[in-house]
Structure 1
Amino acid sequence: MLGGMANCAACGAPGGGVGCQERFERLLALDHARREPWGSLHGVVVACFLLQHPGHPLAGPGDHGPWWAMLRAYLDGGRDGLGALTETMRRGNSHRRRGRPQWPTVPVPPQRAAPTGFGVTIADVAVDGSFPADGYEERVRAWAESTLAAWSAEPTG
């Protein structure tokens, strides 16, 4: 136990007196300020967090395909790939179209129990709890890679 708080049961992040939910709220505040480097990576960090915390109320039940598509777009195409996906989704959400926008189809691993240990978690991205700008995008990329790798690995046990 670090600082009186156990490791996160969902992702394995060290507690250190602060839980993943509190870190997530701090990160969302930075994202919603629409300042760089945080704002433009909002979709990526939400996807990482919810894939590492599938029991979170925002995660909802069902298909993880949209989160997977978000991470694949970013990892495969960087900010340009993420921007292209965002623009596609924005066009699909137009009042001229009926129904919900369709996310691109990307290969997703078969449904299984969520992994509970990740090489990189929100605690790593937070560093000292402040999500410093220096190195932020590199930490987010590592978080996205780690999240997809854990979900893609063969379940053990």
Structure 2
Amino acid sequence: MTFFKTAFQYIAAISLLFISVASCANPPKEIFWEDLIPKGHMQIDTQAQANHEGSDQNWVQPDLDAPVVKALDGQSVSLPGFVVPLEGDSEVITEFLLVPYFGACIHVPPPPPNQIVHVTIKGGVPIDSLYDAIVVTGIISTETWSGEIAQVGYKMKAVGVAPFEL
């Protein structure tokens, strides 16, 4: 009986090892901003409507009830975008908004909440230029977040940030 118990423990340990290796071997799902909009939802295009004339209407965040894609909750993903820094210092940032186009939330009105991701990264990451697009990799959630700048439909715990390359 001891032989079978030991053999079973050995097989179970090997199985767990294979499962662990297989889950680590799966790369994050590459997603894009349109993947954050549920199929069939008519999205407001704030980038096309933006102007820099200072109108109060221009700074109101539209479509605060914009739905999120619930199936993305808990997924390992990578998403390109631009940084709007929230927390950090001159060396690294630890918290930021990831937005689909440069200037969103700063120079033009914020996009709908389902087009903004609140990102935190343990230990921080250096960002050389806010003008450059990056790719953030991590676990995305459909948890909301609100700050002074915007209401957000997604959060991400980042594990990596890299320059965006075509």
Q: Decide which structure has the larger Cα Rg and report it.
A: 2
Higher strand share goes to which structure? 2
User: TM-score when scaled to structure 2?
Assistant: 0.24
User: TM-score when scaled to structure 1?
Assistant: 0.25
Q: Which structure has more RCO (C-alpha within 8 Å, separation ≥ 6)?
A: 1
Higher helix share goes to which structure? 1
